[in-house]
Chain A
Amino acid sequence: MTKDDIKQVVLDIIADIAPDEDLTAVKPEVRLRDQLSLDSMDFLDIVMELRKKHGIEVPEADYVQLASLDSCANYLLPKFEAKGK
């Protein structure tokens, strides 16, 4: 699992929970909320889907790490590696 793979994992989740959004030009360094119509419930959906689909737990104190695709990749990479992925 590379950081690019993780970004795609997150994008795939967003595509499911926010199906009206155009995800073709999401900038990885920009906060997701600044370029997509996402609210706090949507971020809880991302946390839930990471748990359900990948067995990844994101504690509430770390939700801020999901702000952008880059920060997601940096934060989630060791968690995926720990899962042997």
Chain B
Amino acid sequence: MSSKPRIVITGLGLTAPNGNSLGEFRANLLAGKARIAVIDVRHMGKHPAGVCDFDATKWQKRKEIRNGTRVGSISIFCAREALGDSGLDWDKVEKSRVGVYLGITEHGNVETENEIHNISQFGNDTKYWTHHHNPRTVANNPAGEVTMNMGITGPHYTIGAACAAGNAGLIQAAQMLQLGEVDIAFAGGVSESIHTFGIFAGFKNQGALGAHEDPTKASRPFDKNRNGIVISEGGAIYVLERLDDALARGARIIAEIAGWCINSDATDAVLPNPERQTECVRMALQRAGMKPQDIHIVSTHATATALGDIQECTALRNVFTDCPDTKINNTKSFIGHCMGAAGALELAGNLPSFEDNWVHPTINIDELDPECAMPGLVINQPIKVARVDTILNNSFGMLGINSALIVKKYGVA
């Protein structure tokens, strides 16, 4: 990719179940603080879930919140916070040259379930079905709500990529910047999935819904007694620019996008394929011009399902052999699975490592599953390392979509 413009991250906004800013999120990751609530899921009773508590009214009028969607509010909060973090002089930005690219696992389930419930109170008479349903459920909704809130007139759309969506949003933005389609991109991933019972029911009936008497321990990737996914909401949106543009305006450069790959298993709807995951990671490394030994942190996708974790560990062991400086962690153990936001949030939680050289762990491991043992896995306690220059962020999803995104500290060769 050397002949293409270099792409950098110059801003970041997020909401996670354990933090509404990167500083709060990072502090909790280093302190080992998970935050998972127990919520009442329609038709299903109480289940652990990651709930965000950002103040939507910070950036939206109450009417916007009422007419829009939960994921629209998450997106607007993250995008506005990213803008503030970027230092861009928004009044002087040409809004037609700004794009919004948001990864989503799914969209529309929440509003459709709500309306089905609503009309059930009126004998299923569809004249009580809200006229807000279509603008709330079109697949571009979260990105579109951002453009309306911020007056952005460039392109906007979502990237449906199951649970690889957070990476996919960032990759799409990098590609559009390299093509010159936009000058500034707001990109990442978002999710409102805890508000749809269908996702809970689907995972439960698949035998993949996590549970534990202590909700903060329900999400425990790599633990021998893990029993499934904790569903969470959240979002992380980045400001991306071409390096030359960022330097010209004197922007603070948080990280550089170094390489990526998205590929497909083409084998099974839900069962991951470690062979394709291996190929995905290797291709991302090749495109970044890196060897496995060059990666200092691998942020795993592992969701705490019985088989999925083992498959990813198999792929990582295939690639990261003889890599003494490569540390491996997992963020879902703190916040659950934020679905479309997962990849973007998990990358965010690791970015401060470029400055502080700390690597947050994967927590909730009481007994490491031998099949998940990997050299470099950081277990339960953060570790300080000599340097962190590179992060490889894995994010995989149903229908066999795999993504690996590599970012590096700016200024490192």
Q: Check if A and B associate.
A: yes
Residues on A facing B (Cβ under 8 Å): 17-20, 37, 41, 44-45, 48, 51-52
Q: Which residue of B lies closest to A37 (CB)?
A: B63
Q: Tell me which residues across on chain B come within 8 A of A37, comparing CB atoms.
A: 63
| With A17-B66, A19-B66, A52-B122: A44-B131 Cβ-Cβ less than 8 Å | yes
B131 touches A18 (CB 8 A): no
Q: List 22 A-B contacts (CB under 8 A).
A: A17-B63, A17-B66, A18-B63, A19-B62, A19-B63, A19-B66, A20-B61, A20-B62, A20-B63, A37-B63, A41-B67, A41-B131, A41-B132, A44-B131, A45-B131, A48-B128, A48-B130, A48-B131, A51-B127, A51-B128, A52-B122, A52-B128
Q: Tell me which residues across on chain B come within 8 A of A19, comparing CB atoms.
A: 62-63, 66
Q: Which residue of B lies closest to A52 (CB)?
A: B128
Q: Tell me which residues across on chain A come within 8 A of B63, comparing CB atoms.
A: 17-20, 37
How many contacts A-B (CB < 8 Å)? 22
Q: For residue B135, give the distance in angstroms from its CB to the closest CB of chain A.
A: 8
Contact residues of B between 59 and 95, Cβ < 8 Å to A = 61-63, 66-67
Q: Which residue of A lies closest to B125 (CB)?
A: A51
Q: Tell me which residues across on chain A come within 8 A of B66, comparing CB atoms.
A: 17, 19
Q: Which residue of B lies closest to A40 (CB)?
A: B131
Residues on B facing A (Cβ under 8 Å): 61-63, 66-67, 122, 127-128, 130-132
What separation, in Å, do the CA atoms of A45 and B131 have in the docked complex? Answer: 8
Q: Which residue of A lies closest to B132 (CB)?
A: A41
Q: Tell me which residues across on chain B come within 8 A of A20, comparing CB atoms.
A: 61-63
Q: Tell me which residues across on chain A come within 8 A of B127, comparing CB atoms.
A: 51
Q: For residue B328, give the distance in angstroms from its CB to the closest CB of chain A.
A: 47
Q: For residue A5, give the distance in angstroms from its CB to the closest CB of chain B.
A: 24
Of the listed residues B61, B63, B67, the one surrounded by the most CB atoms of chain A closer than 10 A to its CB is B63
Q: Which residue of A lies closest to B127 (CB)?
A: A51
What separation, in Å, do the CA atoms of A19 and B308 have in the docked complex? Answer: 46
What separation, in Å, do the CA atoms of A17 and B62 have in the docked complex? Answer: 9
What separation, in Å, do the CA atoms of A34 and B372 have in the docked complex? Answer: 65
What separation, in Å, do the CA atoms of A52 and B123 have in the docked complex? Answer: 12
Q: For residue A46, give the distance in angstroms from its CB to the closest CB of chain B.
A: 11
Q: Tell me which residues across on chain B come within 8 A of A51, comparing CB atoms.
A: 127-128
Q: For residue A56, give the distance in angstroms from its CB to the closest CB of chain B.
A: 13
Q: Tell me which residues across on chain B come within 8 A of A52, comparing CB atoms.
A: 122, 128
Given A17-B63, A44-B131, 4 extra CB contacts under 8 A: A20-B61, A37-B63, A41-B67, A52-B128
Q: Tell me which residues across on chain A come within 8 A of B130, comparing CB atoms.
A: 48
Q: Which residue of B lies closest to A38 (CB)?
A: B63
What separation, in Å, do the CA atoms of A48 and B66 have in the docked complex? Answer: 15
Q: Which residue of A lies closest to B61 (CB)?
A: A20
What separation, in Å, do the CA atoms of A37 and B64 have in the docked complex? Answer: 12
Q: Tell me which residues across on chain A come within 8 A of B67, comparing CB atoms.
A: 41
What separation, in Å, do the CA atoms of A19 and B122 have in the docked complex? Answer: 25
Q: Tell me which residues across on chain A come within 8 A of B128, comparing CB atoms.
A: 48, 51-52
What separation, in Å, do the CA atoms of A45 and B63 have in the docked complex? Answer: 12
Q: Which residue of A lies closest to B60 (CB)?
A: A20
What separation, in Å, do the CA atoms of A24 and B271 have in the docked complex? Answer: 59
- What 8 pairs between A and B have smallest CB-CB spacing? A19-B62, A20-B61, A44-B131, A20-B62, A20-B63, A18-B63, A19-B63, A52-B128
Q: For residue A20, give the distance in angstroms from its CB to the closest CB of chain B.
A: 5
Q: Tell me which residues across on chain B come within 8 A of A48, comparing CB atoms.
A: 128, 130-131
Q: Tell me which residues across on chain A come within 8 A of B131, comparing CB atoms.
A: 41, 44-45, 48
What separation, in Å, do the CA atoms of A21 and B131 have in the docked complex? Answer: 21
Q: Which residue of A lies closest to B130 (CB)?
A: A48
Q: Tell me which residues across on chain A come within 8 A of B122, comparing CB atoms.
A: 52
Q: Tell me which residues across on chain A come within 8 A of B62, comparing CB atoms.
A: 19-20
Q: For residue B373, give the distance in angstroms from its CB to the closest CB of chain A.
A: 54
Q: For residue B292, give the distance in angstroms from its CB to the closest CB of chain A.
A: 54
What separation, in Å, do the CA atoms of A62 and B164 have in the docked complex? Answer: 49
What separation, in Å, do the CA atoms of A41 and B132 have in the docked complex? Answer: 8
Q: Which residue of A lies closest to B135 (CB)?
A: A41
Q: For residue B259, give the distance in angstroms from its CB to the closest CB of chain A.
A: 44
Q: For residue A21, give the distance in angstroms from its CB to the closest CB of chain B.
A: 8
What separation, in Å, do the CA atoms of A24 and B190 have in the docked complex? Answer: 38
Q: Tell me which residues across on chain B come within 8 A of A41, comparing CB atoms.
A: 67, 131-132
What separation, in Å, do the CA atoms of A41 and B67 have in the docked complex? Answer: 9
What separation, in Å, do the CA atoms of A48 and B128 have in the docked complex? Answer: 7
